[in-house]
Chains A and B, each alone.
Chain A
Amino acid sequence: MTWDLESDRPIYAQLVDQIELKICSGTYPLGSKLPSVRDLAKEASVNPNTMQRALAKLEDDGLLYTNRTSGRYVTEDYNMVQQLKNKIAQEHIQFFLNKMTDLGFERNEILSILSTMVKKEDTKNE
């Protein structure tokens, strides 16, 4: 997964979002060691200070923890990551619902479009 950063939102906040995503998707598995600040900054082509700030925020939130001698790790708390996944999913769905409402769809219409599409995808994948 690559890093995708926009210039009109704080970079550190975007880094937080993207690392959260990497944790949810298992790119950084539970309990695994994260690359160093410098390597992460290099990978994302951002300033190490900005990366440091993002990691500090994730540590405050409890998603990461620092082992003083050996570096930074992803939390081992499965429930915490599940909660995070749910939170991100809700945000995406809220965004989707708002868009659909803007387009003039009623709630029941949205649901039927959605289930039709899911069925179509399923048959495609079979």
Chain B
Amino acid sequence: MNNILECNNLTKVFGSKKALNNISFTIPRGKIVGLLGPNGSGKSTFIKLCNELLTATSGNLLISGHKPGVATKKIVSYLPEKTYLNDWMKVSQMVEFFEDFYDDFNPTTAYDMLSKLNINPKDKLKTMSKGTKEKVQLILVMSREAELYLLDEPIGGVDPAARDYILDTILNNYNENATIIISTHLISDIEKILDYIIFIKDGEVVMTKEVDEIREETGKSIDLLFREVFKC
């Protein structure tokens, strides 16, 4: 199976609002994909559908051939937009927690990254800044040897220097068969590492394309193209 993710006519309606309107695309294995769109375009809704935190109104979504559920949670590593970790826990306790939870979690990788970012495993989450918390969470997520990583706004709250480190972390910790989907509107920071983009607007997919193809055809950066496509 070459595609890690397939969705067909996927629709999600909240009351009278269509958060996702009949979207269809496939994502191959071994790619880094940018899910890009302005605020409220449906990025997080899509990611939540992939994690079964929401269920689709109609249409279908398959991850490695399975509907979102227990089977997909084993192979999908998800970074939510909000922290869900317990404030009173120490980093080392969370590492244990993840180790218990996921078969594919590698604690050595986690400790290695923590020490590179000068995060003390004995610190409690409560005592950390927002940016540091985000780093811890990303480290936990990237320490799994998953087939699909879904990162919802992974770099929103951290400073530019840490952003570079985080992007390097993402690059260094994914293997060639894994796919990473990164949702963000901070395009200029991430566009150099993307293979592929999905532009999404008002719940509809407006473009899916290889990034170097876009640069070749338009002579524009993805950031600039985004500003044009989504001009207010």
Binding site for B on A (CB under 8 A): 5-13, 41-42, 45-50, 53
Contact = CB atoms under 8 A, between A and B. Distances in A.
Nearest to B168: A45
B220 A50 contact: no
Interface residues of B, number: 26
Interface in B177-225: 188, 191-195, 211-213, 215-216, 219-224
18 contacts: A6-B221, A7-B191, A7-B192, A7-B215, A8-B221, A9-B215, A11-B211, A13-B212, A45-B164, A45-B192, A45-B193, A46-B192, A47-B32, A47-B171, A47-B194, A48-B171, A49-B32, A50-B212
Contacts of B216: 10, 13
A12 B193 contact: no
The DSSP consensus for interface residues of chain B is: helix
Contacts of A5: 192
B191 A46 contact: no
Contacts of A42: 168, 171-172
Nearest to B30: A49
Contact of B215 (A8, A47, A49): A8
A12 B222 contact: no
A8 B224 contact: yes
Contacts, number: 55
A39 to B, nearest CB: 10
B117 interface: no
Contact of A10 (B31, B164, B193, B215): B215
A46 B212 CA distance: 12
A13 B215 CA distance: 10
Given A8-B224, A42-B168, A48 B192 contact: no
B188 A8 contact: no
Contacts of B220: 8
B228 interface: no
A8 B168 contact: no
Contact of B223 (A7, A46, A49, A50): A7
